[in-house]
Amino acid sequence: MGATAPRRVGYREGMPPTPAETIAPGVRRVRVPMPSFSGLGFSNAYLIEDAAGRLHVIDPGSPTAQARQTLRSAIADVPVASIVLTHLHPDHAGGAAALADATGAAVLLHERERAALGLIAAGLPAPDLEEWGVPAERRPELLAVAAMPTGPAAELVDAVITGVLADDAVLDIPGRSIRVIGTPGHTDGHLCLHDEEAGLLVTGDHVLPTVNSGLGLGGPTASNPIADYLDSLDRVAQLDRDGLRALPGHEEPFTGLRERCAALAAHHLRRTDEVAAHPGGTVWETASTLTWTGGWDALAGATLLSALRQTAQHREYAARGA
């Protein structure tokens, strides 16, 4: 079965909080509003109830007053035992500090993501725009974007993170067996969460039903994000049996995970082929020949920097003959 089409939901300032939606027994979804510039409208927070009646929150969402109000209204007076983050981006992890402060809950993320947060907090090197062949007049806007934090590093490092998770670890949620699946690519320490008994897989931004997530968006990595992502797609595709339901970080829950993983892999391999067809020239020159949503001329700031980084990643991946 293919992925179901998402139902887009927009938010405006002053709108009342959206009630939580029951996804499965003991599992609810909250659409947490996020800044409108993303075009996605909301991120998904998942509330999992344990055998003791406590909640475990996956991805509390953006660090805004509206996001906090929406999530707290859904939680109400139920004790929160833990907060699990699929990755470090603000629309997923930005609300962790406030929720942890209000509830005393532990905050957990993958050990590789914890290491990435440390690098980000220490300051990331600027990209070599001259080597990429970026015209001098476009460099200031890209340097300004590159200097912005990749995630809520200052709020999360040391002060909030209380534990790390390794691949195949089982979350401490009494009455459930939810396993950690490391899925690097979108960020170096991105994780998914597999509840085999319930037939659920929380996918974060690793697999979305219609959107192609950006790659390498969590600071520098020792390995190629394209290669990591393709391996991670294979890893989660193998879990798709007996009607597994994917719970993404944005858009709507869907089935057909294996087919969606195959489509995402094909998308990136096509892009690698596009890049390989232009072996000469700079990253800028190659990127300008590629097909981009909205067109090359429309890219600016963060979207332009992301396009150049991903072009560089695909060049590296193509060059090694993968």
Strands (DSSP E) contained in the chain are 21-24, 27-33, 42-49, 55-58, 80-84, 106-110, 163-165, 179-182, 191-195, 200-204, 245-248
| Tokens 């596009």, located at residue | 274
Confidence of residue 157 (pLDDT cuts 50, 70, 90): low
Query: Which has the higher per-residue pLDDT, 23 or 122?
Result: 23
**What confidence tens digit (pLDDT) does each residue in 180-195 have?**
999 999 999 999 999 9
| Tokens 């992502």, located at residue | 229
Number of domains in the chain: 1
Tell me whether residue 83 is in a domain: yes
pLDDT for res 18: 59
Query: Which has the higher per-residue pLDDT, 93 or 124?
Result: 93
257-276 and 225-237 are packed helices; what angle lies between their axes, rounded to 10 degrees? 160
pLDDT for res 150: 60
Tell me whether residue 299 is in a domain: no
Domain of 101, in residue numbers? 21-126+153-258
Query: Taking the model in full, what pTM does it have?
Result: 0.90
Query: Which has the higher per-residue pLDDT, 217 or 6?
Result: 217
Helix (H, G, I), strand (E, B) or coil at 195: strand
pLDDT for res 235: 97
Range with top average pLDDT, 37-51, 156-170, 227-241: 227-241
Tell me whether residue 118 is in a domain: yes
Tell me whether residue 318 is in a domain: no
- The CATH number of the domain where 116 resides is what? 3.60.15.10
Percentage of the residues of the chain whose pLDDT score is greater than 90: 70
**What confidence tens digit (pLDDT) does each residue in 23-58 have?**
999 999 999 998 765 567 899 999 999 999 999 999
Give the whole-angstrom CA distance, residue 220 versus residue 228. Answer: 13
5 pLDDT above the threshold of 50: no
Tell me whether residue 275 is in a domain: no
Cβ atoms of 192 and 236 within 8 Å: the answer is yes
What is each CA distance from 38 to 141, 144, 302, in whole angstroms? 19, 19, 11
- Averaged pLDDT score across all residues of the chain: 88
pLDDT for res 8: 31
Cβ atoms of 141 and 127 within 8 Å: the answer is no
Tell me whether residue 218 is in a domain: yes
Query: Which has the higher per-residue pLDDT, 156 or 176?
Result: 176
237 pLDDT above the threshold of 60: yes
| Adjacency order of strands within the sheet including 42-49 | 21-24, 27-33, 42-49, 55-58, 80-84, 106-110, 163-165
Tell me whether residue 289 is in a domain: no
Query: Which has the higher per-residue pLDDT, 48 or 302?
Result: 48
The two structure tokens encoding residue 211: 């959107």
Handedness of CA 73, 74, 79, 82 (dihedral sign): negative
Radius of gyration of the chain (CA): 19
154 pLDDT above the threshold of 70: no
